[in-house]
Amino acid sequence: MNGTAVSVRGLTKRYGDVRAVDGIDLEIGTGEVFAILGPNGAGKSTTVEILEGYRERDAGEVSVLGTDPRHPTRLWRSRVGIVLQTANDTAELTVRETVRHFAAMYPSSRDPDEVIAKVGLTEKARTRLRQLSGGQRRRVDVALGVIGDPELLFLDEPTTGFDPEARRRFWELIRGLSDDGTTIVLTTHYLDEAEALADRVAVIAKGRIVAEGEPATLGGRASAKAAVSWLEDGGRRRIETRTPTATVLELTARFDGEVPELTVTRPSLEDVYLDLINASPDSEQRPS
Ligand SMILES: Nc1ncnc2c1ncn2[C@@H]1O[C@H](COP(=O)(O)OP(=O)(O)OP(=O)(O)O)[C@@H](O)[C@H]1O
């Protein structure tokens, strides 16, 4: 890590007797893409809103770009980008007018037309927001989140409603921002999105972090049993093993070459995620 963008110690937030965030510790490095995963009601939005300075916490220490978000300054706000849900107050403005309007609020913004191109809306630049589809509106939200050229970008469910091509294009945009050194904190329900984008992920369940690490190794994924499957005597055969290479070598010898329809798979991020989430005894928030 080249320094720390976000540091959280013992973060706690209750709503009445619900412990929405129950002692979370986080360290996000400058330039990292960090994904927060978790089921509905896990405490993701509450955590992120505290980091953004939009929600009070009950306890814990929080530093975001060296500032406690409890006391945000104008300068700090300009360094932090947030992709909010679409506001309706600019529905009568065009895409370009909206992006330019927001650009003017920042001390050093990105070029509006460049940002519009990056989110794939050049052809819609002259269209009024109210005439856009849901996915196109969401792309405007993303444009507004990055227009201020933030050092740290919060993305809450950024690609909900995107078609597959728009998602891929969005991923490219995020990778480009990351390559430029932007730190990105992403909450998502799409495991493939976390896998495609995140350097590290944290899985939150019932207000606590239940696992944290690189997507490829989360929850012992890389060393978990592999499933080896192939076709033999007209049927599909499948075994689970910790030594798939040895199994493949045996099969190769037995078939004297190509093994019919051979596949070797480890648990997907989704498999590991569901195991982690289901390890909790119930899926609802427990009262304190
Ligand atoms: N303003 C509020 N008042 C009371 N309870 C709240 C409030 N906001 C959130 N909660 C509760 O806190 C818990 C965590 O909610 P939060 O919105 O942080 O979850 P989340 O992980 O973002 O969920 P989702 O994936 O559904 O967006 C939930 O039990 C929710 O009902």
pLDDT tens track for 36-61: 999 999 999 999 999 999 999 999 99
Q: What share of the chain is helix, strand, coil (3-state, %, to 5)?
A: 35, 30, 35
Span 201-212, pLDDT tens digits = 999 999 999 999
- Answer whether residue 84 shows pLDDT above 90: no
Answer yes or no: is the C-beta of 14 below 6 A from any ligand 1 atom: no
Closest CA relative to residue 144, chosen from 198, 97, 186, 190 = 97
> What mean pLDDT, rounded, does the chain reach?
89
Residue whose entry in the numeric block shows the structure tokens 């916490």: 57
Q: Ligand 1, residue 284: give the atom nearest the CA.
A: 29
Q: How far is the CA of 42 from the centre of ligand 1 (A)?
A: 7
DSSP state of 94: B
pLDDT band at 287 (very low <50, low <70, confident <90, very high): very low
**Atom of ligand 1 lying closest to residue 204 CA:** 21
For the segment 236-262, the average pLDDT, to the nearest whole number, is 94
Model's pTM, two decimal places?
0.85
Condensed to tens digits (0 to 9), the pLDDT of residues 98-125 reads 999 999 988 889 999 999 998 889 999 9
Give ipTM to 2 decimals.
0.96
More confident of the two residues 190 and 63: 63
How many Å lie between the centroid of ligand 1 and the Cα of residue 46? 6
Which residues, other chains included, contact 31 with Cβ-Cβ below 8 Å and sequence gap of 6+? 2, 5, 178, 181, 182, 183
Residue nearest atom 22 of ligand 1, based on CA coordinates = 45
160 pocket-lining for ligand 1 (C-beta < 6 Å): no
- 13, 18, 56, 204, best to mutate for ligand 1 pocket (most atoms within 8 Å of CB): 18
Specify the pLDDT at position 106: 85
Q: Is 15 in the pocket of ligand 1 (CB under 6 A)?
A: yes
Give dist(CA 51, CA 53) in Å, integer.
Answer: 5
Nearest residue (by CA) to ligand 1, atom 2, is 15
At CA 220, angle to CA 218 and CA 226, rounded to 5?
A: 115
DSSP 135-199: HHHHHHHHHHHHTT--SEEEEESTTTT--HHHHHHHHHHHHHHHHTT-EEEEE-S-HHHHHHH-S
Asked if residue 20 has its Cβ within 6 Å of ligand 1, the reply is yes
Distance from the alpha carbon of residue 13 to the mean position of ligand 1, in angstroms: 10
**Helices within the chain (DSSP H only):** 44-52, 74-79, 95-103, 112-118, 134-146, 164-179, 191-197, 244-255, 269-278
What one-letter code names the amino acid at 85?
A: Q
Decide whether any atom of ligand 1 lies within 6 Å of the 43 Cβ: yes
Long-range contacts of 186-189 (CB under 8 A, 24+ apart): 186/33, 186/34, 186/35, 186/36, 186/155, 186/158, 187/35, 187/36, 187/37, 187/44, 187/45, 187/48, 187/155, 187/156, 187/157, 188/35, 188/37, 188/155, 188/157, 188/158, 188/159, 189/37, 189/157
Q: Structure tokens of 83?
A: 């992709």
